[in-house]
Amino acid sequence: MAALVPIDDPDDERVADYVRLTDAELRRRGDVFLCEGVLVIRRAIETGTELRSLLVTPERFEHLRDDLAGLDLTIYVAEQPVMNAVTGFNIHRGAIAAATRPTPRPLDELLTRPTVAVLEGVNDVENLGAIFRNAAAFGIGAVLLDDTTADPLYRRSVRVSLGHVLAVPHRRLDWPGDLDRIRTAGFELVALTPDPDAEPIAALDRLGKVALLLGAEGPGLTPVTLAAADRRVRIPMVGGVDSLNVATAAAVAFHHRFGAA
C-alpha cells in the first residue's frame, strides 16, 4: 500500500531522488526520469511505468488518490514552496514522480510493426514530445532515434507528450548502420522533405511497411540520410510557405499511415 510521508524540510534525505533534478543532472545520473503533472502521472500508472516515489502537494494528492490506491509506493507530501526548494524549479502542477528508466526494447521486436518513425537531430524537447503524442494518436509502432536526437524522457518532453512517450516504444539506433537493418526488415525508408521535386505525401497511402525519416527543425535531414532514403515525399502547400514545424509535419505524415495494415 502507498505510504504517505510529510515533508517540510527541503534538505530531507528521503527526497534525494528529487534534489536539483534538472535535465543536466538527469543526463549525468541516467537511471531516473521525471513525470510531471497529474495527467502524466496517471499515464505512467496506466502504462505500468516503474515509479520510485511521488512528490506532491496536498491538493494534488487528492486528485491522484484513487489512481494511487493499491500501489506499493512512497508518496512524499509537501507544500508548494518546499517542493520547489527540493527540485530547484517551480513545479506549478503540484505533482512529480521519479521513475526508473526502462530497458530499451530490441530493435528486431520494434520492426514487426507496419510504420515506424526515425528521427535525426531532433534536439528540441518540446517538438520531440509533440512527435510522440502524434505517434500515439495515429498508431505509429515505434520511434527510433539517432544519437543526436534529444532524450525523449527529458521532463519537458514527457510533459508535452502528455505521457504518451511512456506508451510508444522507442530506442536509439546505431547510426547510420541500423538504417540498413530497417530496410532489410522490409521497410521502405521514406524521407520527409520540402523539396519540390519530392512525391506528394499521398504516396504514403499505398506503401507497405514504411520508416518515416524526420529531421531537425530548420536544417531537416542531412544529405547523407536523404541519400540513404528509398524515396522522398513532401507535404503540398500554398505558395509562400515552404515548410512546417517538424511535429506538425510528422502529424500529417502519421495521419497518412493511420490504420496501415
Give the pLDDT mean for 143-156: 94
pLDDT at residue 3, as a whole number: 83
Burial class of residue 135 in the structure, from the number of CB atoms within 10 Å of its CB (0-12 exposed, 13-18 middle, 19+ buried): buried
Same domain, 166 and 204: yes
**175, 180, 186, 188 alpha-carbon torsion, rounded to 10°:** 70
pLDDT at 261 over 60: no
Q: Which residue has the higher pLDDT, 19 or 68?
A: 68
Give the pLDDT mean for 20-35: 68
pTM here is: 0.93
Same domain, 188 and 240: yes
> Where does a domain end: 100, 127, 155?
100
Same domain, 36 and 162: no
| Residue 156 belongs to a domain | yes
Same domain, 43 and 123: no
What distance in Å separates the CA atoms of residue 261 and residue 257, rounded to the nearest whole number? 9
Sign of CA dihedral 43, 46, 48, 51: positive
Same domain, 94 and 135: no
pLDDT at 100 over 60: yes
Same domain, 14 and 67: yes
Give the pLDDT mean for 40-63: 95
pLDDT at 232 over 90: yes
pLDDT at residue 28, as a whole number: 54
Q: Which residues of 176-191 are buried (b: 16+ CB within 10 A; e: fewer)?
A: eebbeebbeeebbbbb
| Residue 69 belongs to a domain | yes
| Residue 19 belongs to a domain | yes
In the structure grid, which three cell numbers stand for residue 256, read together?
Answer: 497518412
In the structure grid, which three cell numbers stand for residue 50, read together?
Answer: 516503474
What distance in Å separates the CA atoms of residue 59 and residue 156, rounded to the nearest whole number? 22
Same domain, 129 and 249: yes
Q: What percent of the chain has pLDDT over 70?
A: 95
Q: Which residue has the higher pLDDT, 208 or 30?
A: 208
Domain around 211: 107-256
70: CATH:
3.30.1330.30
pLDDT band for position 217 (50/70/90)? confident
| Residue 24 belongs to a domain | yes
What is the full DSSP assignment across 108-147? HHHTTSSEEEEEES---HHHHHHHHHHHHHTT--EEEE-T
pLDDT at 182 over 80: yes
Q: What are phi and psi of 169, to 5 degrees?
A: -60, 145
- Domain total for the chain? 2
pLDDT at 183 over 70: yes
181: CATH:
3.40.1280.10
In the structure grid, which three cell numbers stand for residue 43, read together?
Answer: 499515464
What distance in Å separates the CA atoms of residue 182 and residue 189, rounded to the nearest whole number? 8
Helix or strand (DSSP H, E) at 28 = helix 23-29
| Residue 34 belongs to a domain | yes
pLDDT at residue 85, as a whole number: 92
What distance in Å separates the CA atoms of residue 248 and residue 11, rounded to the nearest whole number? 43
| Residue 111 belongs to a domain | yes
Same domain, 120 and 14: no
Same domain, 140 and 17: no
pLDDT at residue 259, as a whole number: 79
| Residue 90 belongs to a domain | yes
CB-based contact 121:148 (threshold 8 Å):
yes
Same domain, 114 and 195: yes
pLDDT band for position 16 (50/70/90)? confident
Same domain, 144 and 236: yes
CB-based contact 96:36 (threshold 8 Å):
yes
> Where does a domain end: 100, 120, 141?
100
pLDDT at 224 over 80: yes
Same domain, 245 and 165: yes
> Where does a domain end: 49, 76, 100?
100
Give the pLDDT mean for 223-235: 96
| Residue 261 belongs to a domain | no
